Structure 1
Amino acid sequence: MTSRLNRPMTASRRALLAGLTLSLGVLPLAACGGGSDDEGSATDAQFTKDVSGELGVWGFNNADDVGKARLASAQQQLGSVKITLDETGFDSQKFTTRAASKTLPDVVQMDRQYVATYAAQDLIVPLDQCFSLYGVDPSSYWYPAVVKDVSYKGKVWAAPQFFQPSAVMLNTRVLDQAGLTAADIDTSRPDALVATAKKLTVTQGGNPTRIGFDPVAGGQAPGWLLGFGGQVMDDNGVPTLDNPNNAKALAFLKQLYDAQGGYAKVKSFSDAFDTFGKNNQFVKDQVGAQMDAQWYVNVLSPYTKQLQISATPYKDQQGQPLSISGGTSFVIPAGAKNMNAACAYVVDLTNEASWMAAAEARAATLAGKPGSINTGLFTGSPSVDKTLREKFVKPSGNKGFDETIATFYDVLGSAKSQGSSPAGQAIQSELQNAISAVLLGQKAPEQALADAQGAAKRAYDQFGG
């Protein structure tokens, strides 16, 4: 590891980060010693297989059976390396504060939307040479969209893990009662979908007691934009929130919510769902259909006798399946004290051996729960997903659940990345502001997105874009 990685930050970089702290409440940054503007930076990182010593890791808060099995597997592969684990949840302010004081551990787990931001500031190191050292080709080992999430200026800056695709989960009991089928829940036919949602919606006293189609506009926003031919950012990470097709997507979402009682009432109702409990919205027939990520199938699996579900792909306006990649990743901070062990660790955590150990642990857990359904692990790697599905995901005897599981596997191949940007978090924050303003009727889609674009572009420029 070269000493240049620990050089103090120049005055210009400190001024830049100070400005960002004022302008980006979503991702406050402190001035950090991670590189310099003229020579020597985190891109100088080199790795070898000389692995020993101690390793600090920040991540795996509230690890379940899958996480614990992967940790144990990686430790076994690292041999005598002593690992100290900080299991607190990731926090952007804490990350930059610790970077400034040079107290970051050797490996940090974070959402992939943070990666380009820290890469642009030389706070983390690129991992291309690390992957090459261990024979990992990111372009073939992970889904292309997943790799794009953690790429910036031609380099890969993190080891991605998980890809939770989205699809439309169907409450077939509600659909059957209304004489409808999965074919009637078609996101590529906006007008028909609005009519179907209105037919399935039930209100009492002007308030919804059932949402016909819950688009989850906030959490699923990038998918709706791309589905209408829009774009969150371009290939260089420049925000493109004022793309005309984005306005079409938001106009549709407002029309959809208005047909079901209005965004404020729908949001208030859905916020009260017992989402993770036995009285969840599918058990209680509070939705006819809903956009959901794959992990939610696991939440519903204990309640197979109380609900009837299936799923259908989310489709773009050309009728093609679409899913937006998302998930977490492992980065190596620029000031890491044990670069070699950190490199080996992020490779070991995301290789097939660790995922196999995780799948076996999950199968053992489910074996102790009669009637449980193995919904699979969605790792971010197509080869690993295929191996684990073939070995562990078997017909459950519940036709609807099996259809749901199969749908989420089917849409993996249609994954797209919303992009990678040094202002990624600011872009997401401004997009959410625009969505709220439109759905609440405070601004027209074009105006809301123009305002969001202006703020996001300023953030991008401040980040050195």
Structure 2
Amino acid sequence: MSMRMRALAAAALATGMLAACGGGSDSGSGDKQTVTMWTYPVIADQAKHQAFWDEQTAAFEKANPSIDVKVEIYPWAKRDEALSTAIAGNKAPDVVYLIPDQLPKYAKTLQPVDEYLSAEAKADYRDNAKASVTIDGKMMGAPILMTSNPLVCNKKAFDAAGVTTYPTTWDELLELAPTFKDKGIDVTNHWADPAATLNQSFYPLLWQAGGDVFTPDGKKTAFAGPEGIKALTFLRKLVDGGYVEKDLLTGLPKFEQTHVAQNKVACTWQHVPADVATFWGEENIKVFPPLKDVKQVAYGTVGSLAMFKAADDKEAAGKWLAFATRPEATKAYDTASNNFSPQKSTGSLYASDPVQGEMEKTLDLTTAGPLNEKARDVMGVLAPEIQAALIGKKTPEQALADAAAAADALLGG
């Protein structure tokens, strides 16, 4: 997801997508219908990813001989630009992989998927997975995977500091901070550069304090209330105490240059085991539920397959979407991609894995965040203000108030 492409390359990518798509479903020869789907490198190994979808399409076409399915895998980079271009040119695919914060942006062009999923299939989804794709009571995508960003701690750092208990609350984390600092270890880390997503940094604390980004009706922001001030004040205490790496407050150093990679951070909720395994050693990775203040909640996204209204044959596209997101498929897809299942019937995918198994146990404590069309725009306004508070240019109260004023203007408030 972090790949960067020059504007010219992005334009070429968009053109290539349009050519590959060819305008969504078409009749083809005879009575056959063609369903097109765009997805992205969920499985990092391109060959394995393509093989997975080749196997799924072959099985589907055998059971549905009148439907051909074409799955195209494109880069993460500039995917929204390319998809928007395709929609504007009436060249969108029939089905596409989307995450929750994309759904509101495309909601007007998406076909709700409820009618294409059986009652049993819908009941099988975890409540938070289903909520993450639901807008105005309608499912705008069929979940195919989940992720979680709980508390991940480094046993090596705990051993070096002589600490044997792991934190479960904000207060416990703060109480441990001086002990770790005495050993040259940060109790946690915090990426405050505006380019870093708030989903994995500030928002989890906001939710844990009992707050939210938007009001329930989505028409105004809510992060500047007492809960937001409490969360940002907590972060400010970590910074002022010298308990986090200050370079991360103003820049984005290479990961290997950070204290996390150097085994100088005790716990983090901004990285998952796959990020740190090479540096910590898997035997030193300890996974715990997210920290708790008023609530215990972590960020986790949900990948889903969505259908466009412009699909020529919605029945055919709906059959494919239901087939591709059935438990048998998600179980295989999620284990191959090191993700987790959004469905209860699949059971534990990692029962014998001491790290992934613990990650899996935290899924019901996750939220994908607000489903608001302006969510990314609001994040763009809020992030610099949070940074300003953490580097001492503003108080938490003033930073959040300024951000709220600007963000509410974006929302039309």
For the superposition of Structure 1 and Structure 2, which TM-score range results when normalised by the shorter chain? 0.7 to 0.9
- The answer to whether structure 1 residue 245 and structure 2 residue 240 are counterparts is no
**Map of 1:99 onto structure 2:** 87
State the alpha-carbon separation in 1 of the partners of residues 285 and 145 from structure 2.
24
Residue 221 of structure 1: how far off its partner (Å): 2.0
- The answer to whether structure 1 residue 220 and structure 2 residue 201 are counterparts is yes
Name the CA shift for 1:244/1:56 in 2 (closer, same or farther; >3 Å).
same
State the alpha-carbon separation in 2 of the partners of residues 282 and 331 from structure 1.
36
**Map of 2:389 onto structure 1:** 438
Preserved contact between residue 313 and residue 411 of structure 1 (Cα < 8 Å): yes
Name the CA shift for 1:145/1:272 in 2 (closer, same or farther; >3 Å).
same
Q: Which of 323, 344, 350 in structure 2 is aligned with 1:382?
A: 344
**Map of 2:112 onto structure 1:** 126
State the alpha-carbon separation in 2 of the partners of residues 306 and 82 from structure 1.
40
Which segments of 5 or more consecutive residues in structure 2 lack a partner in the other structure? 1-30, 193-197
CA RMSD of aligned residues (A): 3.1
- The answer to whether structure 1 residue 161 and structure 2 residue 161 are counterparts is no
Name the CA shift for 1:321/1:73 in 2 (closer, same or farther; >3 Å).
farther
State the alpha-carbon separation in 2 of the partners of residues 246 and 172 from structure 1.
31
**Map of 2:54 onto structure 1:** 72
**Map of 1:330 onto structure 2:** 305
Residue 360 of structure 1: how far off its partner (Å): 7.0
The letter of the residue matching 1:83 is K
The share of aligned pairs that are identical, in percent, is 19
Superposed counterparts of 1:184-263, under 5 Å: 185-189=167-171, 192-201=172-181, 210-216=185-191, 218=198, 219-238=200-219, 239-260=221-242
Name the CA shift for 1:263/1:310 in 2 (closer, same or farther; >3 Å).
closer
Superposed counterparts of 1:400-411, under 5 Å: 402=354, 404-411=355-362
TM (normalized to structure 2)? 0.78
State the alpha-carbon separation in 1 of the partners of residues 275 and 243 from structure 2.
28
**Map of 1:291 onto structure 2:** 269
Residue 78 of structure 1: how far off its partner (Å): 2.3
**Map of 1:316 onto structure 2:** 292
The letter of the residue matching 1:200 is F
- The answer to whether structure 1 residue 394 and structure 2 residue 381 are counterparts is no
- The answer to whether structure 1 residue 56 and structure 2 residue 56 are counterparts is no
SS at match of 1:331: strand
The letter of the residue matching 1:317 is D
State the alpha-carbon separation in 1 of the partners of residues 245 and 324 from structure 2.
42
Moved more, 259-268 or 71-80: 259-268
- The answer to whether structure 1 residue 113 and structure 2 residue 75 are counterparts is no
State the alpha-carbon separation in 2 of the partners of residues 160 and 359 from structure 1.
11
SS at match of 1:213: coil
Preserved contact between residue 167 and residue 313 of structure 1 (Cα < 8 Å): yes
Superposed counterparts of 1:144-159, under 5 Å: 144-159=127-142
TM (normalized to structure 1)? 0.70
Work out the number of aligned pairs and report it: 368
Name the CA shift for 1:156/1:62 in 2 (closer, same or farther; >3 Å).
closer
State the alpha-carbon separation in 2 of the partners of residues 281 and 262 from structure 1.
9
Residue 297 of structure 1: how far off its partner (Å): 2.2
State the alpha-carbon separation in 2 of the partners of residues 297 and 262 from structure 1.
20
Residue 177 of structure 1: how far off its partner (Å): 2.3
Preserved contact between residue 60 and residue 67 of structure 1 (Cα < 8 Å): no
Name the CA shift for 1:248/1:359 in 2 (closer, same or farther; >3 Å).
closer
Preserved contact between residue 69 and residue 358 of structure 1 (Cα < 8 Å): no
State the alpha-carbon separation in 1 of the partners of residues 73 and 254 from structure 2.
33
Residue 52 of structure 1: how far off its partner (Å): 4.4
Preserved contact between residue 171 and residue 282 of structure 1 (Cα < 8 Å): no
SS at match of 2:187: strand
